[in-house]
Amino acid sequence: MKFPLNILLIVITALFSSCGGGAPDAVKGADMDSTSSAFKWIEGKYIVINEGAGFYYEEWFKIDNNNYTGTGYALTLDCVDTVFSMKMRLMHEKDKTTLFYDVKNQNENKETEFTLTKGENNVYVFENPFRDFPSIMQYKILGDSVIEVTERGFAKNKEKVIEYRATKMN
């Protein structure tokens, strides 16, 4: 059983462009330490259950006040086979916050970059206008244990939107 490629980005979370002029106004010019604390929600272990297909797990760690790193992997429903795995990182700089995804055996093993374009009211939007799908990743924090993820973009010349919830395990 294979997961479609878009399942890969379902939780991305680990969940994550050059448009938008850098960091959003809520983040621009802010103190690095206080701004990076806005991303504390990303720390921890998450799960997405895709009924009938399998599970996706993701875990994020804080490296320092401005950097987080994570790993994610999808398992078949019987938890026997790994469908895919990836490394992720979130990097906060003075004028830019970026999510990077490196999916094993995809994209010539190069990272895919998404830049934060909005970060307010518990909603974080990361964009990469050079990708077809997803080109927009939105994370809405619904409390201490649930993140609603919306992926937007184009696949086969049609607009595509996928929504799901990642549940924090710890």
Is pLDDT at 36 greater than 90 in this prediction? no
Distance CA 130, CA 135 (A): 7
Is pLDDT at 26 greater than 60 in this prediction? no
Query: Which homologous superfamily does the CATH classification assign to the domain defined by 5-168?
Result: Calycin beta-barrel core domain (2.40.128.20)
Is pLDDT at 5 greater than 70 in this prediction? no
What letter would DSSP give residue 36?
H
Domain boundaries, the chain: 5-168
Give the containing element (helix H, strand E) for 161.
Answer: strand 158-168
User: Residue 123: what pLDDT?
Assistant: 95
Is pLDDT at 22 greater than 60 in this prediction? no
Span 150-161, average pLDDT:
94
Q: Is the dihedral of CA 96, 138, 9, 147 positive or negative?
A: positive
Is pLDDT at 35 greater than 80 in this prediction? no
What would the pLDDT profile of 140-153 be if each residue is shown by its tens digit?
999 889 999 999 99
CA 49 distance to own-chain centroid: 16
What is the pLDDT confidence band of residue 52, given thresholds at 50, 70 and 90? Answer: confident
Give the containing element (helix H, strand E) for 137.
Answer: strand 136-141
Span 25-42, average pLDDT:
57
What would the pLDDT profile of 72-113 be if each residue is shown by its tens digit?
999 988 888 988 899 999 999 989 999 999 988 777 778 999
